[in-house]
Chains A and B, each alone.
Chain A
Amino acid sequence: MSEQNNDQLIIAGASYNSRLLVGTGKYKDMAETEAAIAASGAEIVTVAVRRTNIGQNPDEPNLLDVISPDKYTILPNTAGCYTADDAVRTCRLARELLGGHNLVKLEVLGDQKTLYPDMSETLKATETLVKEGFDVMVYCSDDPIAAQKLEAMGVCAIMPLGSLIGSGLGILNPHNIRIIMESANIPVLVDAGVGTASDAAIAMEMGCEAVLMNTAIAAAKNPVLMASAMCKAIEAGREAYLAGRMPRKKYASASSPMDGLI
């Protein structure tokens, strides 16, 4: 057990026990958001930054009162940004909003249909953000060369998509994610595409440092129960990775001894 107890996720110098990062979008209300995040066991929680006239029901508490920065590491994202400039402005606003906190999730999107990362704009935004002292976790394509460039630029985590944001299609190109992990010296997380618990477990069994998800929990019929399932899947997948799976074989290998048969 001691091996597992010491098995912490390290992002930008901070240690975390949970390897599940969750978003706060698409929930029915704040009560459901709060209950699902608690059930997930996540310590890093993403939020979006929006104009004050957009967003929540005025009768509800503020998101940061429910998901308190005292209890969680808040990871503001740049979701909805289609240019490097907008993403950089959003990160600066987020840093001010959170009292000087430098950790951000950069995502610069290419189009509304796929929400696929625009890597040239992402690289451009990364350059500015790193220069300005941000700890940048980057949502990116599963392109190993783009991942190498991001690492060389000084990001603190590479987060390739498993499949399109909100699609729930799972990890469609595990080979590329493996190639990215082989050369990376910083955490590689799967961000986007997880549909159910087995997808999360697969990412962790492959050796990903963590998984970031939102819709898989929020769009489940019972989000709180799915959050709990994801918590277990992440732990199970991580332990299986550390344990090292048996080799695959073409033919059977008896589990019971052959000696002493009647």
Chain B
Amino acid sequence: MQIEVNGDSIELADGATLVDLLTQMELTDMRVAIELNLEIVPRSEHGQTALKSGDKLEVVHAIGGG
């Protein structure tokens, strides 16, 4: 299935969860936050949150800024 992550289209196996997505993005060890279709998904729910085709996600982290 196709999903959109940070503005880019990504191919992901059907039924994949947010943990699977983070694994594919090599972000499992990083401190990130996820917004799925404009709603925050708490870290504790990443494993149970299954994605579906057309989902739009933002995966963010902290970087230097004022």
Contact residues of A with B, CB < 8 Å?
Answer: 23-27, 33, 46-56, 62-64, 74, 76-77, 79, 89, 92-98, 165, 192, 212-215
Contacts and interface: CB of A to CB of B under 8 A. Distances in A.
Contact of B66 (A50, A77, A96): A77
A147 B29 CA distance: 41
A89 B6 contact: no
Contacts, number: 102
Pairs of residues from A and B, 5 with the lowest C-beta to C-beta distance, nearest first: A48-B65, A23-B66, A214-B66, A55-B63, A97-B33
Contacts of A53: 6, 8
A50 B31 CA distance: 12
A52 B61 contact: yes
Interface in B10-58: 25, 27, 30-35, 38, 40, 42-43, 58
Interface of B: 6-8, 25, 27, 30-35, 38, 40, 42-43, 58-66
Contact of A51 (B30, B38, B59): B59
A96 B43 contact: yes
A215 B38 contact: no
Contacts of B66: 23-26, 46, 48, 77, 79, 165, 192, 212-215
Main secondary structure of the interface of A (DSSP, over half): mixed
A255 B62 CA distance: 55
B31 to A, nearest CB: 5
A92 B62 contact: no
Given A25-B66, A50-B60, A93-B33, 8 more contacts: A47-B62, A49-B63, A52-B30, A53-B8, A56-B64, A63-B64, A74-B62, A96-B34
Contact of B61 (A25, A26, A50, A192): A50
Given A52-B27, A64-B31, A26 B64 contact: yes
A47 B60 CA distance: 12
A70 to B, nearest CB: 13
Contacts of B32: 52, 97
Given A46-B66, A165-B66, A94 B33 contact: yes
A74 B34 CA distance: 19
